[in-house]
Structure 1
């Protein structure tokens, strides 16, 4: 066991180093898109904070989801947040899996460029929607009598520009449509296209459906907020994805993504980053040894016939 670990550690480090080199070069070419997407996330946060200032509490509107689903109560409001946190963190970890695993289909920088493009388009529509009409928030802290239902006017611009985590959790007024559903649907749709495990894809969709019901049962959104998110986010992703360039293939026989016009990766990096040795003989031997290609994955292992 110790001999095996000793042999695998240098290979893992080489794989991580090669992936870091590739991603750094991709980041150098695409940093404007990443930065622009992050700035838009901040602008979306400011817009949500701004609508909280003009939110006015009132009677909770009649809602079919509230009638059909039992109310979880304020003490169990963490349930829906826990499900969302699981989806959020799981997706982030998956986008960084090429640094560790031999099987890989995506480039981390490029996948985040696409994800941020989807998020920005959806959040732009969301800002237009919740500023058009402010509904009385159904959440417990947004109802009449709560000190969080409205925000006092800021004393200085810095107070408005500084977004605190507490303000994110206790926001009111930014209802149509659900931001939680935007993130969850973007993440699941992205994994649906670029993920390799069919079982995880099926589970992801089930989890998103459960999260939709939990959001309504927790009275964090009206049913219309969730329903509008389902068709709006999917339509936005469908049309935006058609306009974006397709992701480079990292599968069998694929060449490495060119990092610049004048720079080529070394042969060792090609083997480690692309997940193949580039030798046709190795592929023949590998196919004979395995017998078949895993149907859940369109990618291959990097180290061919290790230890032979």
Structure 2
């Protein structure tokens, strides 16, 4: 038993070292895309904060989803955030599974290059959309009478560049279309293409659908915000996936090299 554990541990360590070597090489070639994607996430955060300055609370608009789905209430609004956090963490961990599992179809650096490209394209469209028309926020803290429904104008330029967790959780005005659904659908679509477990693929789509209902029931978005996210993200990923170069794992010569290294 001890000999078996040692042998398997040795194999795991060799696989880990081999993967580290490969990923470092890929990172050296593609780091600029990752950095650009991360910077764009920050810019998207600034844009979402900026629209809060011009948000004006008003009566909640008539919405089919609000009529059909019972309101969860403020005390249960954490449910949708919990589901989203679970999806995010699960996907993040999955992208690092090549370091320990033998069967794989992805390389961590390359998969995040693609994911960030999808996110940036969707967020670019999102920023254009929610700055074009500001709807009165349906969330509880965005309604008339709330102290945080309006954000006071910044006292200095540095205040505009600051992003804090409170502002992310209590933002208003960045409605069409849902950022939570952008991330969720990009993750599900990515696993749909590069994942290996059929059950997880089906479960991912189910979770995305449930997440949509929870967002509406929590009154964090109007139904239109979720509906637009569903077809926009799918179209963006479909179009970009045709343009972006394939993962290196599709290259037979690279697979052969990896096999020799391991």
TM-score by length of 2: 0.96
Which residue number corresponds to residue 91 of structure 1? 91
Distance 2:260 2:156 in 1: 54
**Structure 1 residue 250 displacement after superposition:** 6.3
User: Higher helix fraction: Structure 1 or Structure 2?
Assistant: 2
Listed one character per residue, the Cα deviations across residues 14-37 of structure 1 (whole Å, up to 9, x for unaligned) are 111111111011010001111111
Matches within 5 A, 1:130-279: 130-249=130-249, 254-256=252-254, 270-272=260-262
Bigger Cα displacement from structure 2, 3-12 vs 44-53: 3-12
| Alpha-carbon RMSD | 1.5
Distance 1:2 1:155 in 2: 66
Distance 1:128 1:257 in 2: 41
Asked if structure 2 preserves the Cα contact closer than 8 Å seen for 1:104 and 1:250, the reply is: no
Q: Structure 1, unaligned stretches of length 5 or more?
A: 259-264, 273-308
Distance 1:48 1:151 in 2: 12
Matches within 5 A, 1:60-99: 60-99=60-99
Distance 1:248 1:151 in 2: 46
Distance 1:85 1:270 in 2: 38
Asked if structure 2 preserves the Cα contact closer than 8 Å seen for 1:106 and 1:250, the reply is: no
Distance 2:260 2:76 in 1: 50
Listed one character per residue, the Cα deviations across residues 216-257 of structure 1 (whole Å, up to 9, x for unaligned) are 000000000000000000001111111111113369xx4326
**Structure 1 residue 133 displacement after superposition:** 0.3
TM-score by length of 1: 0.82
**Structure 1 residue 147 displacement after superposition:** 1.2
Which residue number corresponds to residue 41 of structure 2? 41
Which residue number corresponds to residue 4 of structure 1? 4
Q: Structure 2, unaligned stretches of length 5 or more?
A: none
How many corresponding residue pairs?
262
Asked if structure 1 preserves the Cα contact closer than 8 Å seen for 2:51 and 2:131, the reply is: yes
Distance 2:250 2:4 in 1: 27
**Structure 1 residue 38 displacement after superposition:** 0.6
Which residue number corresponds to residue 102 of structure 2? 102
Relative contact order: is structure 1 or structure 2 higher (C-alpha 8 Å, sep ≥ 6)?
A: 2
Which residue number corresponds to residue 281 of structure 1? none
Distance 2:45 2:215 in 1: 20
Distance 1:271 1:202 in 2: 34
Distance 2:128 2:243 in 1: 22
Asked if structure 2 preserves the Cα contact closer than 8 Å seen for 1:70 and 1:217, the reply is: yes
SS of equivalent residue, structure 1 residue 98: helix
Computing the radius of gyration from Cα coordinates, the structure with the larger value is 1
**Structure 1 residue 271 displacement after superposition:** 4.5
**Structure 1 residue 65 displacement after superposition:** 0.2
Distance 1:186 1:242 in 2: 15
Distance 2:68 2:79 in 1: 18
Asked if structure 2 preserves the Cα contact closer than 8 Å seen for 1:256 and 1:270, the reply is: no
**Structure 1 residue 166 displacement after superposition:** 1.2
Distance 1:215 1:196 in 2: 29
Asked if structure 2 preserves the Cα contact closer than 8 Å seen for 1:178 and 1:221, the reply is: yes
Asked if structure 1 preserves the Cα contact closer than 8 Å seen for 2:107 and 2:249, the reply is: no
